[in-house]
Structure 1
Amino acid sequence: MNKRSAVVLLVTAMALLSGCDPSAQDPNVTLSENQQDPIEALEVTSNVDRSEFSYKETFYVPIYSDIYTDKDNRKVLLAATLSVRNTTLEKSLYINKIDYYDTDGALVKSYIDKPIELPAMATLNYIVEKEENKGGAGANFIIEVEGADDTVKPVIEAVMIGNFSNKGFAFSTEGTPVIH
């Protein structure tokens, strides 16, 4: 094999392997400003004394991975955007858990390994692609947040969107506090 063929083979292999990188196809990465996973970008890196925090709450957020349309087209897959918004002007909100469950209540995925910090007035949007159909019609997120005091209450919503033939679907749901 000559030098030119080896270079062409190497460049082709690199191109093919970069196409296998899951983060290269993740809309959360490709649609972000810095081409970085938004959750990883918010991971807590400094030491914050959270032992004094007086606000802690868990939210249930319904997500519809699919919906029934009619007897001929039983199921339409939907994309969902989870939105966690810090509504305070000066204080950070800390997110300790973002877990995704399916219709049967089985854990599909834990999105964070360590706490993330959402600065004042910031929003975390996270996309669940419509091709990710493990959740089903009764999918949901459990999100655990905490902050300095109860003025740091978030707004948590989900927006689902999808289409089939000439039908388009878009609707939203709100996070509900979980009663322990």
Structure 2
Amino acid sequence: MNKSSISILLVAVMVFLSSCDPSAKDPNVMFSEKHQDPIAELAVTDKPDHSKMSYQQTFYVPIYSDIYSDSENQKVLLSATLSVRNTTLDKPLYINKIDYYNTNGDFVKSYIDGPIELPPMATLNYIIEKEDDSGGSGANFIIDVEGVDETVKPVIEAVMIGNFSNKGFAFSTEGTPVVH
């Protein structure tokens, strides 16, 4: 066997092996610095003491999984990035819920099992792939956060990108506080 045949065989084996691991295709794993799920990286083992948290807020974040592009009602699928940013210089932000709902308001998925801690000035970005159209055109996230005081207020946004024909586009939405 010559060197080029061995090289081709090695590449084929590597491609085959990487296709066996579903997390290898997850963009949240692929694009993270440590090649781990960013939510799993932030999970806390010791639950925060809720009695010490004076700031608690729920946010509604609109997500568009798809939009209609023209009078023929062609649906264009979009990828979205949910971004939660801790804006404080010295205090962690705790995220207790990241729940995804579809256009009809039906619960689709919870992205966390327990609280996660976002360090000062850190950002959690989470990608919803273009092929995931489970949310529909009116999808949304409900996100619960808390912090030790009122200075721990996050910036929560979503950025959607897509393309239609030879045109690319992007737009963003902001998280809106929910009044209980």
Change (3 A) 1:139 1:47: closer
Question: 1:50-69 counterparts in 2 under 5 A?
Answer: 50-69=50-69
Listed as ranges, the matches of 1:53-132 within 5 Å are 53-72=53-72, 74-132=74-132
Give the total of aligned pairs.
169
The amino acid that maps onto 1:120 is P
Offset of residue 125 of structure 1: 0.4
1:51: Cα distance to partner?
A: 1.9
Superposition pairs of residues 17-36 of structure 1, within 5 angstroms: 18-36=18-36
Q: Which runs of 4+ in 1 moved over 6 A?
A: 12-15
Contact 2:47–2:115 (8 Å) recurs in 1: no
RMSD (CA atoms)? 1.7
The alpha-carbon deviation at position 71 of structure 1 amounts to 2.6
CA distance in 2: counterparts of 1:20 and 1:133, whole angstroms: 24
Q: Could you report, residue by residue, the CA deviation over 1:45-67 in whole angstroms, capped at 9, with x for unpaired residues? A: 24543321111000000000000
Q: 1:15 to 1:136 in 2, by over 3 A?
A: same
Tell me the residue number matched to 1:159.
159
Indicate how the Cα distance of structure 1 residues 132 and 150 shifts in structure 2: closer, same or farther if over 3 A, else same.
Answer: same
Unaligned runs of 5+ in 1: 1-11
Q: Secondary structure at the match of 2:40?
A: helix
| One-letter code aligned to 1:128 | I
Local SS of the residue matching 2:145: strand
Q: d(CA) in 2 for partners of 1:31 and 1:175?
A: 23
- Alignment-derived partner of residue 134 in structure 1: 134
Question: Any idea what the Cα deviations from partners look like across 1:86-105, whole Å, max 9, x if unmatched?
Answer: 00011000000001111011
1:175 aligns with 2:175: yes
Give 1:90's aligned amino acid: D
Flag structure 2 segments of 5+ consecutive residues without an equivalent: 1-11
Q: Which residue of 1 aligns with 2:150?
A: 150
